[in-house]
Every structure is written in C-alpha cells, then in structure tokens.
Structure 1
Amino acid sequence: MAAKDVLTRDQINAELAALPDWRFRLGGLAAALKCPTSAAALDLFAAIGALAQEANHHPDVDWRYDTLFVTLTSHDAGSKVTARDAALAKAISTAAREVGAVAHPELLRSVEIALDSADFAAVAPVWAAALGYKAGESDDLRDPSGRLPTLWFQQTETPNANRFHFDIHVPASEAQGVLAELAAAGATLDRSSEPAFVIATDPQGNKLCICTEEGRDA
C-alpha cells in the first residue's frame, strides 16, 4: 500500500486495533495525550514536531498545559486517513510512552453547528462572509485554520423553530457514559439512529446530537 493511499473504514479499524491511544474522528485519527507535567508535554510536542518533519507529514497539535490534542489527516488526499497517518500515529504513541504520557479518549470531543434550512445555498454566503469560512463538503462551511467548529446546513423543507443545534462528536468508546450523564441531567434521548448519533432534547425543547464514528465511512 502506498503511503498516500486512502484507507477504507475496515483498514482504519484494523490499524486502530494496534493503536489504543487513537480514535477515528471526522476524517482523521485523534488522540488526547496527558503528560506528567507541562514540561513533559512540551518535550512531547517537540518530539512530534521532529517526527512530522522526518515524515514530511504534519499533524494538528493543540497544547493545553499538560495535555496535547493531536489530529492526523491527509489534506492532500481530501482530508482522509491514509497509511501516512497510521504510521505517524504509531511513532507519536511511542514518543508519548517515553515521556510518560497517558491517552485520555474521554477528552476527545468536537462540535459541529447545524442550521436547518430549506435552501442553504441562499444563506451560506452570509455565514461564510461573517465567519471567514470556506466551502468544505457540499453542505458545509469550514474554518480554513481548523480552529472553529464546522457549520453545516441540514436541508429540510420543515425547519425546526429552533433552527440551530449542536452535533457533539465523541468516541464510540465513551458515548454511553456521555449519554448516561445527559439522561441524569434531564435530557430525553432518541436512540433510533444509534450508534451513528443519538438526539438529546433538554427540558426546554432544545436539541443536540451525540455523534460517534460508528456507522460512518472513512
């Protein structure tokens, strides 16, 4: 397999079986690596930078005190997972163990904002101009720097009165714990589309979706 070959979902799952630190998230591989100290996190950050330079393949790394949030995707392959991503993930995990870092997949959460619209092409330019976003997939807008949440348009002839909702992406391994917390907090859960997503409604009727990587292609 060539390094730039896009992996199928079955191939990604096979790679993840040997990558316990990592999860498949929104077209990439992601890990949250908690280090013993902030200094150790900086050492790991430097090690990741060196590995990235050596591989000529550069992940997104967000340093938060003693924790690094790392995302690997191949932008030149359409922001999909390739063999390069799996290889670099293995190398990063090795470097993480050397500094005593521990993976915390429960910290891996990301948010997409969904907007109901009967004609999203009519409103998308307004949101793109306001946010400085660019077109991503056919029905969404994305921050070119990858810092802000994706805005996607849910095509519907009958928009909800509350047109916005959050899609909160969590690893499938952590989803049941999150759903239990939501139920305990008073949310009503619609599990009809589980495991891909569960619709949660708060006591005032506001909706959100807890989404996982299950039931989605690569």
Structure 2
Amino acid sequence: MPARDVLNREQIQEHLAQLPEWRYGLGALRTVLKCESSAAALDLFSAVGALAQESNHHPDVDWRYDTLFITLTSHDAAGRVTARDAALARSISKMAHAAGVTPRPELLRTVEIAIDTDAPEAISEIWRTALGYKVQRDGSLADPYGRGPAIWFQETQSPNVNRFHVDVTVPFSESASTLEALTSAGATLDHEHAPMWVVATDAQGNRLCISTEAGRDD
C-alpha cells in the first residue's frame, strides 16, 4: 500500500521552520551532527538506531569519526519525504540537543556526476553494469547502498566538448559563501539558472555546478 503521508514542498518548509538544524535537498531531509569524540558519535549513532527501530523508520546514517551525516526519506513512498521523516528528525534533534551535540548543516554536500549526451539510452546500461547501480524513475543511476555519487545523463543535441561535469548540491543557505569562495579561487560563474544551479568553470575549462533546493518543484 502506498504511503499516504507524503509531504509537499510547502509542508516540508513548515516542518523545517521548527527544525533549524535540518535542510531539504535532493528530495530528502538532511543534517550533520558533530560530537565531542568518535566514541560520542558512535553512542549517538547507536541511540539513533534504537530510535529508528522503535519507530520502525530507518534513516541513512554515515559515521565519520566524530561526525554523523543523516538523511531521511521514506522507502515505502518511493524515496520521498513523509510526516514520519519529519517526526523522526524532531526526535533525533531532541536527542542530539540533550547530548550537547553541535549541528553542522553547513557541511552538507551531495555529489552527482553528469554526462552530456545526445543518446542516453546508448550508454546508460554500460554505466549501470560497471557500477552495479540501479535505474531511477528519472533515468539517472544510483548506488543502491548510497555510497557512490549518482550518475545522470544531461540530454542535449550539442554535447559539451568536456562531456563530464560534477554537480555539488549544497543548502541554499550556504550557497552564497560557497560561490564567493569559488570566485576567490579563480572560477568563472554563470548565474543564468540561479538559484537552482550556478555553473562554475575553472581556468582549464572544466565545469561544475553548485546546485540548491531553491526554485525546484517537488
């Protein structure tokens, strides 16, 4: 039975107003929690796991020494955000606050690799087979275990000479400082599609996009 508690963007924003340490990006609620030590992070990881078991709703958690990267979506809602995700986010935040954990949402980064092509169907299966990925609803490829970057095919009749570029999704609240730092590092910025994405080109013509959740549909 499909989930009936899927949240639209307006509802997600209403929840986020009460969850200042969480951000919405690439269809998920996300946060970063920095602990005093690796042991403290592992304790928090265990506590989040127990909370997830109790609620029968399981987040994706990446433990990196003293820091936890947490992503919330609902698998029974085709990977969309539901009221259960918002409820679990509130519980995790309450637990983290009680433990004296520092939220660091400005550290959020999600990397995807884009390939310019005039025929996605001619190459998609090769990449899927090599990587062991699964095909998403939009035709992109994703690591079923969430370890590697997603691959998506930017269909165009005039592929760029450099067909590969990296998309880096950051919270909109952090995008201005990221773009300023890129300018200082020598990148040329194209703001045509801002705030959804800004194309940054390095001194050798290689491109990357700084993407945000702003201006996107559900």
TM-score of the two chains, using structure 1 as the length reference: 0.97
Q: How does 1:128-147 map to 2 (within 5 A)?
A: 128-147=128-147
Q: How does 1:188-203 map to 2 (within 5 A)?
A: 188-203=188-203
What SS class does the counterpart of residue 20 from structure 2 fall into? Answer: coil
1:211 maps to: 211
What SS class does the counterpart of residue 93 from structure 2 fall into? Answer: helix
Deviation of the 1:217 alpha carbon: 2.4
Deviation of the 1:134 alpha carbon: 1.0
Deviations 1:95-150 (A, max 9, x none): 11121111111210010100001000111010011100110133311111111110
CA distance in 2, matches of 1:76, 1:142: 17
Letter in 2 for 1:92: I
Distance 1:196 1:55, change over 3 A: same
Gaps of 5+ in 2: none
2:62 maps to: 62
What SS class does the counterpart of residue 79 from structure 2 fall into? Answer: coil
Deviation of the 1:25 alpha carbon: 1.5
CA distance in 2, matches of 1:91, 1:45: 13
2:39 maps to: 39
Aligned length: 216
Deviations 1:6-65 (A, max 9, x none): 100000000000001100011110000001121211111111011101110000001111
What SS class does the counterpart of residue 47 from structure 1 fall into? Answer: helix
1:17 maps to: 17
Identical-residue share of aligned pairs (%): 60
Gaps of 5+ in 1: none
1:179 maps to: 179
Letter in 1 for 2:32: A
CA RMSD of aligned residues (A): 1.0
CA distance in 2, matches of 1:45, 1:138: 32
2:163 maps to: 163
CA contact (8 A) 1:4 1:84 kept: no
1:121 maps to: 121
Deviation of the 1:194 alpha carbon: 0.8
